[in-house]
Amino acid sequence: MSREKQNLNSDRPGRLFYVMGPSGAGKDTLMAYARESLCEAPVIFAHRYITRPVELHGENHIHLSEAEFANRLQRGCFKFHWNSHGWSYGLGTEVDTWLNQGLNVVMNGSRGYFEQACQLHADLVAVLVTASESTLRERLLARGRESAAEIEERIGRASNFERLAAANLHRITNEASIEAGGEALINIFSEQEG
């Protein structure tokens, strides 16, 4: 069945896909590939609300000031929220609306928040995008956002992902082409349907 022709079954809630990975693994690139490929499928890619300013080549997120974020948090507008690297991150309660309509929802998650997300949404499907240490270093250097010391700190934290364990965890080693990694991600979304 083609990606565009899949039927929406609103009698059954959709699945929540929690995609995570260390900096430089290419998680955002693979998600962008899948998003483009699945633009007519019953799959929603949830935007994150972040206090970090939008970057030209970065994640497609919605920027909120600290005050805006705090206001939404206080008023219960977030299904998930966490802090990382000095920024606040959130996903809105619209995620539940989409799931209840039978749509599958893909979210860009944090390793540090994963256990709490599982407690809030026990049947989420976890997807871990990884790459070798040398590939991570090469990609982080190429993007030019961090100092050499910051890059090494990020690579050091990447080992935390190797210890990750969950009942419904899928791993993608993103060392080949964007197409290969993107199709692997799409296949995970497809295998979990129905």
Domain presence at residue 127: yes
Residue 125, CB-side half-sphere exposure with 13 Å CA sphere: 17
Instruction: Give the sheet arrangement for strand 87-92, strand by strand.
Output: 62-63, 49-50, 87-92, 78-84
pLDDT tens sequence for the chain (194 residues): 344 444 444 578 999 999 999 988 999 999 999 999 999 999 999 999 999 888 766 677 899 999 999 999 999 999 999 998 889 999 999 999 999 999 999 999 998 899 999 999 989 999 999 999 899 989 888 888 788 888 888 888 887 777 777 778 999 999 999 999 999 999 999 876 54
Per the domain annotation, does 105 fall within a domain? yes
Predicted TM-score (pTM) of this structure: 0.86
CATH of the domain at 183: 3.40.50.300
- The Cβ of residue 75 has, within 10 Å, a number of other Cβ atoms equal to 8
- Residue 99 belongs to some domain of the structure: yes
> What is the total count of domains within the chain?
1
Determine, yes or no, domain membership for 6.
Answer: no
Q: Residue 36's Cα: distance from chain center in Å? A: 15
Tell me the residue range of the domain where 126 lies: 16-191
Domain membership of residue 64 (yes or no) is yes
Does 133 reside within a domain?
A: yes
CB 174 within 8 Å of CB 25: yes
